[in-house]
Structure 1
Amino acid sequence: MHIAFLTSEYPFKGLTRSGGLGTSIKNLAKGLIAQGLKVTVFVVGQQNDIVSKEEDIQLICIAKKKHRAFNWYLERKRYQKIIQNHVDKQGIQLIEAPDWTGISAYMTFSIPLIIRLHGSDGYFCHLDGRPQKWKHRLLERTALKNADAVVSVSTFTAGLTKEIFGLKTVIRTIHNGIDTDIFKPFDVEVNPGQLLYFGTLIRKKGVLELAEIFNKVAESQPQCRLLLIGKDALDIFEKTSTLSLFQKILSPEAKKRVSYLNEVPYANVNEYIARSHIVLLPSFAEAFPMTWLETLAMEKALVSSNVGWANEMMVDGVTGYAINPKDHLLYAEKIIELLNDIPKCNRFGKAGRQHVIEKFSAEVITQRNIDFYNICIRQ
């Protein structure tokens, strides 16, 4: 079987920045290769045309081109023509695209095109409580309506997407998976009292709530420190740096104990997780976050949010705590409890890793995807 992915982001040197979407595609592609399938990844909208191969995954990067008018339509049709040419020559049997900004809208191929819901622009606008641009809504709705099948990384994301776009499509859930041989416990010294947040510094991921929460933790825990790792983002409401807003909220005492690293190489993220005492991910807007999977797989106590998708991954009080980030006091109390109870941190960590191995390991998730692809190809 030969599967292709159509995406605008992928973690590869020389390409534009990639986030959780690109990581999840790469994880799945590697899993498919391990099962003997062929995989091609088409990465569109890049600065240069690149043809390369990494870990037996064929990469075809397509440089963007400006059109005098209707760029959003003509560029998609140009991508379609290039990709269809590869389909014909290489015997590709199915193409998968994400929902983000309707990347596959107006594209038609001679083989099945499926869309995986990682969280569309419309989905995140809804969770943020802000209007979506009409063009993005048109493109995303068109892409979803015309797909041969739709699959979602969480049941919550599937249900909300159907509601937002008025879809009657049957949407199957196949959660994101993770390679538990890469993300596993490290034999390194843990920094006592080290709290870690990693991911984009942005309002929707609960970063501003985290500042309020850490103020309360710092009042009673003189040994604790908070490390933020991730790219700073412009706040959608205040139109200024989210990091600067975060720092304004901090109390003078809390401010002394916060440090910040602007993005570290993805390959190094697991070392920072390993050296942390507790990981804090109080997000309001996700589909099925890789950061949570990575934390659990590495046997770290996680205090997450309890929003939407959370109960599909977290088992509150077993794999960690899932708390409403707006309840600053309760969230802080759970952190303080774990700071003072290392045995409980260890129990949460071990339970979290076992939960990931059983439910979300690459082996388990890859086979579910292969079964789904076979159904789509046969139909």
Structure 2
Amino acid sequence: MNILYLCDEYPPGKHGGIGTYVSLIARQMVKLGHSVTVAGLYSPGYGGEDEFEDEGVKVYRFRRGFDYKLFGNETSFLARIGIRLLKDSGLMDRDIKKNLLSYKNKLEALISSHHIDIIEMPDYNDYIRFCNIYIPFPKLPVPIVIKLNGSLTYFAQEAGKSLPAHVKEMEQAIFEQAAAISSASKYTAEKTTACFSYPNKISVIYNGIATDLPYRNLPKKEQQVIFTGTLVEKKGIYQLAKAWNIVNKNMPDARLMILGKGSSQEVSSYLSNEAKGSVSFLGHVAAGKLYEYLSASVVSVFPSYAEAFSLAPLEAMACRTAVINSNRSSGPELVDDRINGLLVNPDDVDQIASAIIYLLKNPDVCERLARAGNEKVQDQFEITKIAAKTILFYGEVLNKKE
């Protein structure tokens, strides 16, 4: 089978989620004997090579316009001003239309040259957040399957926020192209069905993870707690900071490692002066380093408010680290409370703190949950098993086409 994945977050880059999953599934498909190509329309300043091979996966990065140094960091003041001016003037919309036409032509060339049988793309497309008007994703000449990993509309609904009408219309148009849809979680399938019009059944195929990590048997640092993820409100990092003040009062020797891109100053503003000395901000790190830090920690905490599917707790479970996960959205699908981890309400700072303190003070329970979590990851989320399910799914789509 010749497979094309559309992805604008392929590693290396300061992303997790979709990019990590696509790289894992693509490499596994190559190991199974399939031909795999990955292409994406990348945001300004992403960096990396335009064309390269990754363990047999052929990767193409096509660049969106306005790829100047000014936009290398979209969160900087100058970049935000520049993007706002381009959007307000209509130049951004004109540039996106031009880019999408070019992208369509390049994808059609890849489809032809690589004899692509099927395309998988996510429900989230980065260019949409820059549009002031309706600019639909181009139609392509082979069957497309959509993988639900959380669209703009999905996350806006989860946060109780509204979006401009053209955003939902563009995402609905992507659904109308789909030969079939799979979802990274049951929760996301149900919530997305409520958001969009789609008449057919959505298959649930969890995202997978590699579990044969060389780091998982590293010695543990008994008082080390870890958070991995983007430092934004949605991930519950501010709630964790508030909870850590309580942990620090009760267990001053405990240490919190925070890994991920975002403003450490913002997170620090929620920490007491006493607690600040026990927290280390390490920023975005490469996968190998991430797994080393996870494996050396005894507890990991992910009090997220909204996820379609979260790889972070599974990465911790694969590293044999006890997980405290959110009880929101897909959280209970990944962690069974008190069986292979703990579930907490991200709004309940005291509960988050109590869960951390409980595990640090009860190493036998911590070890039992870590071991059970590792077993669950290997049983339900191992990438070889997810790839096998995905191949069956693709086969059903292509058989219907024939």
Is the partner of 2:330 in helix, strand or coil? Answer: helix
Residue in structure 2 matched with residue 238 of structure 1 by the alignment: none
* 8 Å CA contact 1:97, 1:103 repeated in 2: no
Q: How does 1:41-60 map to 2 (within 5 A)?
A: 41-45=38-42, 50-60=50-60
* 8 Å CA contact 2:14, 2:284 repeated in 1: no
Please point out which of 125, 138, 163 is paired with 1:132. 163
* 8 Å CA contact 2:215, 2:292 repeated in 1: no
* 8 Å CA contact 1:102, 1:139 repeated in 2: no
Deviation larger for 64-73 or 219-228? 64-73
Residue in structure 2 matched with residue 231 of structure 1 by the alignment: 261
CA positional deviation for 1:311: 1.5
User: Structure 1's 106 and 248: CA in aligned 2 closer, same or farther, altered over 3 A?
Assistant: closer
Residue in structure 2 matched with residue 236 of structure 1 by the alignment: none
Q: How does 1:1-379 map to 2 (within 5 A)?
A: 1-12=1-12, 17-45=14-42, 50-65=50-65, 70-101=94-125, 105-182=136-213, 185-187=216-218, 189-232=219-262, 241=263, 243-379=264-400
Give the aligned residue type for 1:152.
S
Is the partner of 1:179 in helix, strand or coil? Answer: coil
Aligned counterparts of 1:365 and 1:184: Cα–Cα separation in 2: 22
CA positional deviation for 1:183: 6.7
Is the partner of 1:304 in helix, strand or coil? Answer: strand
Is the partner of 2:386 in helix, strand or coil? Answer: helix
Q: Deviations over 1:55-86 (max 9, x none)?
A: 00011221224688644344323212211122
Aligned counterparts of 2:61 and 2:126: Cα–Cα separation in 1: 18
CA positional deviation for 1:356: 0.8
Q: Deviations over 1:40-62 (max 9, x none)?
A: 00122366872221100011221
Give the aligned residue type for 1:305.
S
TM-score (norm 2): 0.86
User: Structure 1's 90 and 361: CA in aligned 2 closer, same or farther, altered over 3 A?
Assistant: same
CA positional deviation for 1:248: 2.2
Is the partner of 2:297 in helix, strand or coil? Answer: coil
CA positional deviation for 1:36: 0.9
Aligned counterparts of 1:183 and 1:319: Cα–Cα separation in 2: 21
CA positional deviation for 1:184: 5.6
Aligned counterparts of 1:179 and 1:263: Cα–Cα separation in 2: 20
Give the aligned residue type for 1:141.
Q
User: Structure 1's 248 and 69: CA in aligned 2 closer, same or farther, altered over 3 A?
Assistant: closer
Aligned counterparts of 1:17 and 1:179: Cα–Cα separation in 2: 19
* 8 Å CA contact 1:321, 1:334 repeated in 2: yes
Is the partner of 2:249 in helix, strand or coil? Answer: helix
Aligned counterparts of 2:37 and 2:358: Cα–Cα separation in 1: 47
TM-score (norm 1): 0.91
Aligned counterparts of 2:296 and 2:336: Cα–Cα separation in 1: 23
Aligned counterparts of 2:189 and 2:330: Cα–Cα separation in 1: 10
* 8 Å CA contact 2:213, 2:318 repeated in 1: no
Aligned counterparts of 1:334 and 1:17: Cα–Cα separation in 2: 30
Q: Deviations over 1:90-125 (max 9, x none)?
A: 211001111113779432222101111111111112
Deviation larger for 22-31 or 100-109? 100-109
Is the partner of 1:62 in helix, strand or coil? Answer: strand
Is the partner of 1:58 in helix, strand or coil? Answer: strand
CA positional deviation for 1:227: 1.3
Question: What value does the CA root-mean-square deviation take over the aligned residues?
Answer: 2.0
User: Structure 1's 176 and 69: CA in aligned 2 closer, same or farther, altered over 3 A?
Assistant: closer
Aligned counterparts of 2:106 and 2:201: Cα–Cα separation in 1: 30
Identity of aligned residues (%): 30
CA positional deviation for 1:251: 2.1
* 8 Å CA contact 1:2, 1:91 repeated in 2: yes
Is the partner of 2:137 in helix, strand or coil? Answer: coil
CA positional deviation for 1:355: 0.6
Structure 1 unaligned residues grouped into runs of 5+: 233-240
Q: Deviations over 1:169-221 (max 9, x none)?
A: 3211100111111376133x322211111111000000111112111111211
Aligned counterparts of 2:310 and 2:234: Cα–Cα separation in 1: 13
Give the aligned residue type for 2:33.
G
Give the aligned residue type for 1:302.
V
Q: How many residues align?
A: 366
* 8 Å CA contact 1:102, 1:143 repeated in 2: no
Is the partner of 1:335 in helix, strand or coil? Answer: helix
* 8 Å CA contact 2:242, 2:270 repeated in 1: yes
Give the aligned residue type for 1:56.
G
Aligned counterparts of 2:345 and 2:272: Cα–Cα separation in 1: 22
Aligned counterparts of 2:28 and 2:161: Cα–Cα separation in 1: 37
